[in-house]
Amino acid sequence: MRLKLPEGSFGAYLFDCDGTIADSMPLHYLAWRKALAEWNCEFDEKRFYAWGGMPVAEIISTLNKKHGLSMPVETVSLRKERLYFDLLPQLKPVPEVLEHIEAEHGRTPFAVVSGSTRESVIASLVSLNLLDRFDTLVCAGDYKRGKPDPEAFLLASERLGVAPENCLVFEDTEMGIQAAQAAGMASVKIPPPWERL
């Protein structure tokens, strides 16, 4: 399957990480299930994909409210990250996105814009041997409002010195696409794993 990019030429490419560069969503889901099972907390796969792009701390807080639980956000966050890091040897890139990274690297500035922690993003990119391709990383903690708010994408375009309207966003979630639109950026949606087969 090939990705169809919007018409025109772009001054920068902004990539989400999980589910976009890294085919990591199935691994993240395994880590979530394991971490949450320790607190008897359900997290079905459909909801997991629907919440794609939501910061880890926000997911835990929302699940606490939804299930009337009081899981310690920091503890569960760290546990989930550790479990994900254990699965990293299984991580593969999304081939349709990798193709564009390889073709444009060195010609177009790249940024990663993610709701994941910097540690998690770096671990994924190092595992895929792609960390050196990116000029800047915008991760959870670098901005106040997560996707669908445009703040993270606007910060990336500012760091790269490229106007928002000249940026192309690669995203796998609805929240991410909404954030790109709110930032005035063109976008391309990466289909979920089961549609890419």
Q: Which of 16, 18, 23, 172 is catalytic?
A: 16
Could you confirm whether 16 is annotated as catalytic? yes
Look at residues 17, 62, 58 and name the one whose alpha carbon lies nearest to residue 41. Answer: 62
Q: How far is Cα 184 from Cα 166, in angstroms, rounded to an integer?
A: 9
CB 36 within 8 A of CB 43: yes
**160 SS3 class:** helix
What are the percentages of helix, strand and coil residues in the chain, rounded to 5?
Answer: 50, 10, 40
Q: Active-site residues: which are they?
A: 16
